[in-house]
Chain A
Amino acid sequence: MSGPSTYEPKTGVTRWLDSRMPIVRLGWDSFVDFPTPRNLNYWYTFGGILSVCLVIQIVTGIVLAMHYVPHVDMAFASVQRIDRDVNYGWLIRSIHAVGASMFFLAVYMHIFRGLYYGSYKAPRELLWILGVVIYLLMMAAAFMGYVLPWGQMSYWGAMVITNLFGALPVIGQPVVEWLWGGFSVGNETLNRFFSLHYLIPFLIAGVVGLHIWALHVPGNNNPTGISVKTKADTLPFHPYYTTKDGFGIVLFFIIFAFFVFYWPDALGHADNYIPADPLVTPSHIVPEWYLLPFYAILRAVPNTLGGVVLMFGAIGVLFILPWLDTSKVRSMRYRPLARWFFGFFVIACLGLGWAGAENPDYPVPGLGAIGVDFLLMGRVLTIYYFAYFLVILPVLGFVEKPKARPASIEAAVLEEAAARKGRASKAAQPAPAE
């Protein structure tokens, strides 16, 4: 933990416990008196939101697993039973299915936050890498979870994704058969996916523990990217951030509840309410929305192996990002060029998601006239995606002239507050007659 512990056990019991296993001290130092930069904005709430999401998925998932049957002949019917007959089963399943989307929504906010404020730079490289590991595990968990209801998209999604490994030279086919547990996607596949789907969230919980540990050594980054220098730069986590995060989390819950209660199927695909049928290929196989950008990258390459390599490369590049960005300045607030490229990067990711959802041969609305179809769009954006990490960030560190930065977090906060007051008093003055 950063700084000496301030915990003082007050009762006999806590003193007894503290000298044997200082667990209360750990909690106190991590979540009560933890010195936190005083200028964190709502983008910093997503970490807390993600922890809540994980707990929600695990709790609802365990209840679902009590009623779900991992067998190709019964899985679909068991999910129907959950929706129709299990007490509040419809609610539990709706929370779990919508929860997966909300989890990804939050993780994307969290990742983009980190990219903008340079939270991946020293001394937080390991913290960042652990985050990317969590993200990878989340994708695996969600992909396997989506297979469990054994609808058409479950089956064909599993088919498409597992078959990708078949593109590997020599070992391709054996690997695919090993993943399937047979010669096709079938009962063995469903069984192992269920087993792994149950396991992975607990692995995630473990890595989250490491992630928070690695956070609590250097402490939080902040929107200025300037390191904490004095006590005046920080506030104790409780009550300042417990209240602020609490408010943010409840706002997030409102969006979450809107989908759970009023639009539960909006984020899923209608075809997954058709039972899996190995003989009927759906007209349009697409993954869940949160995996669409990678699907676009996969399809951008004419060769399957190349596509697979690029798709995994898209995540792999995140692992080495801390050493690709050569700028000494963390926050893009003070990087006049980088923030533009970051903005384009966000647009590129959304555009990749769009390209992933569409038929590659369809013209892009508005650009079809000049011959741009979704394949071309996906290709251009894929190039930008990689260029951002491999060319733009490495080069910018040398050519960009950062803006002047405040002396400390405290100075930045006071400066902003003064500017706000100035604006307010100006606004309060009667406007001169025209």
Chain B
Amino acid sequence: MKTIHALLAAALGALALAAPAAAADRSPEPHQFSFDGPFGSYDRAAVQRGFQVYMEVCSACHGMEHMRFRHLGDRGGPFEEVPIGGEMVRFDNPNDNPVVMAIAAEYMIDGEPDEFGDVNERPRIPADPFPYPYDNVQQGRAANAGAYPPDLSVITKARYGGAEYIRSLMLGYDYEPPADLELRAGNYYNPYMYGSVIAMPPQLQDGLISYEDGTEATAEQMAEDVAHFFAWASDPHMESRKSMGLMVMIYLIILAGLLFATYRQVWSKIEH
């Protein structure tokens, strides 16, 4: 088993080294998130704030194709438990969750055709997707000087560094560009981006939004919260995964112990 570990470590080492690294890019700044580590969990308040940042700032340019409003009320989601009459209430079915319903209803969508075949707008329900900023890729490009703002549904899984990368990227506009770098109009220097040049303008400045929970909206705070939100959106079942993992590990370790004892017992009379 030791050998397996060694080989595995070697294989992993090779993988880690395989991560692309263009010479001038910076790796994401290390940051402690509450979901780090084998027992880490999401900070519901931070995910809620991050959701607010996404909706008020990022969603103007970035869609989240795979998100439905009901996900917000799923087990492990930010609005799984909501205050009703001063008490926290859990909704097993997120479609019944009043907070989730209220959030969804703020956005309109084309409804189903009526009896005359006419399509009218209706407020969204929890089963509906988040609104998408563009009808198609061309429109997205046209609105952003040729650069398509990527979908952010699984963004922390789609970038090495995950949430740390998002946080660093959002705060990474204050570095002095190298003297020989020629930036075209609409491009910005951001050393965390692959290739160090990004077509997204700086987004977060202190006081850009006012948080519903009264937290002071510094750029730093918003970057951390929005990264936290994307971490949840990309991996919504992380908490179930880790807690099930713990039970499975305990079970397997006990089983291994019992099997080892059985094996020793069975072989005890055999010279081997």
Contacts and interface: CB of A to CB of B under 8 A. Distances in A.
Contact of B245 (A38, A251, A260): A260
A292 B12 CA distance: 12
A20 B127 CA distance: 58
Contacts of A266: 12, 15
A417 B272 contact: yes
A39 B15 contact: no
A68 to B, nearest CB: 15
Contacts of B272: 38-39, 413, 417
A39 B267 CA distance: 12
A273 B154 contact: yes
B154 A80 contact: yes
A312 interface: no
Contacts of A358: 17-18
12 contacts: A39-B272, A105-B7, A108-B7, A235-B270, A247-B259, A267-B15, A270-B157, A273-B157, A274-B150, A283-B20, A354-B13, A357-B18
Contact of A289 (B15, B151, B253): B15
A80 B129 CA distance: 14
A243 B17 contact: no
Nearest to B38: A262
A246 B20 contact: no
Given A262-B242, A283-B194, A357-B14, A38 B249 contact: no
B236 A84 contact: yes
Interface string A342-356: 000000001001100
B256 A251 contact: yes
Contacts of B1: 42, 251
Interface string B236-251: 1100111011101100
Contacts of B237: 83-84, 90
B245 A247 contact: no
A400 interface: no
Contacts of B13: 354
A135 B65 CA distance: 38
Interface in A207-261: 235, 239-240, 243-244, 246-247, 250-251, 253-255, 257-258, 260-261
Given A42-B1, A261-B241, A262-B242, A350 B256 contact: no
B242 A84 contact: no
A254 B253 contact: yes
A254 B256 contact: yes
Interface string A277-290: 00000011010010
A56 interface: no
Contacts of B252: 250, 253-254, 257
A239 B14 CA distance: 40
Contacts of B244: 91, 261
Given A247-B256, A261-B249, 19 more contacts: A39-B272, A42-B1, A80-B154, A83-B237, A90-B237, A240-B266, A243-B263, A244-B267, A246-B259, A254-B249, A255-B4, A257-B245, A262-B242, A274-B158, A283-B20, A350-B7, A354-B14, A358-B17, A417-B272
A241 to B, nearest CB: 10
A234 B60 CA distance: 72
B261 to A, nearest CB: 9
Interface string B33-77: 000001000000000000000000000000001100001000000
A270 B158 contact: yes
A288 to B, nearest CB: 10
Nearest to B247: A261
Contact of A353 (B11, B154, B159, B253): B11
A250 B248 CA distance: 11
B66 A77 contact: yes
Given A90-B237, A243-B262, A38 B14 contact: no
Contacts of B12: 266
Contacts of B10: 350
A367 interface: no
Contact of B66 (A80, A235, A261, A283): A80
A130 B237 CA distance: 41
A254 B11 CA distance: 18
Contacts of B241: 90-91, 94, 261, 264
Contacts of B134: none
B132 interface: no
Contacts of B240: 90
B108 interface: no
Contacts of B15: 266-267, 289, 357
Nearest to B253: A254
Given A243-B259, A246-B259, A274-B158, A289 B249 contact: no
B270 A240 contact: yes
A109 B272 CA distance: 22
- From B160, B237, B246, B272, name the one whose CB has the most chain A CB atoms within 10 angstroms: B272
Contact of B160 (A105, A261, A270, A275): A270
Nearest to B267: A240
A359 to B, nearest CB: 8
A417 B14 contact: no
Contacts of B145: none
Contact of A247 (B14, B71, B154, B263): B263
Interface in B128-184: 150-151, 153-154, 157-160
Q: Please give me the 3 A-B residue pairs with the lowest Cβ-Cβ distance, nearest first.
A: A261-B245, A357-B18, A273-B158
Nearest to A102: B8
A80 B263 CA distance: 43
A91 B263 CA distance: 31
A253 B255 CA distance: 11
A76 to B, nearest CB: 9
B23 to A, nearest CB: 10
Nearest to A265: B157
Nearest to A239: B266
Contacts of B253: 254
A250 B256 contact: yes
A62 interface: no
B271 interface: yes
Nearest to A42: B1
B260 interface: yes
